[in-house]
Amino acid sequence: MKTVAFVPIRLNSQRVAGKNLRPLDGSPLMCHILKTLTEVEGIDEVYVFCSDEGIRALLPEGVRLLLRDPSLDSDTTLGREIYDSFTARVGADLYILAHATSPFIRAATLADALGKVRSGEYDSAFSAEKVQTFAWFEGRPLNYALDNIPRTQTIEPVYIETSAFFIFSR
């Protein structure tokens, strides 16, 4: 089962200028997740998907650059457009989409999630944070009733995507 990991990199962030290249512990931010992905057993190829050839010199060993159309660097580009573009060009059975802005994901975490998808136990996986507290949405309690307020230890948890990684099939 061919598994390909990719990290989309855009160098023209409007919110945080140059965020993917900012130094973190002596390396550009993006390099931390890239190195982690190269350490995960079962990942066959790791790519950076970026429109700037100049980024090649910064890539860790074992990471490939796939140049993408610069039109995908727009502030209005949807993530889905980037992911569809990558998967249309690189064939695989499973894809791992990871983000440079999650440099502390451990290889063991990725390997565990990948193993569960490969085994057929799950059809996909994503990183999430379990929040077990009082949550509201659209002006109403999301996970409890106002006339029956539980202890936080017994409240129904809410899972929030962290966007650190997503694992999905072709």
Domains in the chain, CATH or no CATH each: 3-127+162-169 (3.90.550.10)
Predicted pLDDT of residue 19? 83
- Round to whole Å and give the CA distance between 78 and 142: 28
**Residue 21's pLDDT is what?**
85
Cα–Cα distance, 10 to 51 (Å, whole number): 7
Give the C-alpha separation, 51 to 38, whole Å. 21
Phi and psi at residue 167, in whole multiples of 5°? -120, 125
Predicted pLDDT at 11:
80
- Predicted confidence at residue 135, as pLDDT, reads 94
Transcribe 29-56 into DSSP letters.
HHHHHHHHHHHSTT--EEEEEES-GGGG
- Residue 95 has what pLDDT? 98
Q: Element (H or E) spanning 118, and its range?
A: helix 107-118
If you search the block for the tokens 């569809």, which residue do you land on? 84
Profile the chain (170 residues) by mean pLDDT over runs of 10 residues. Answer: 96 74 90 97 97 95 97 92 97 97 96 97 97 96 94 94 95
Residue 22: its pLDDT value, please?
Answer: 87
Q: pTM of the predicted model, to two decimals? A: 0.91
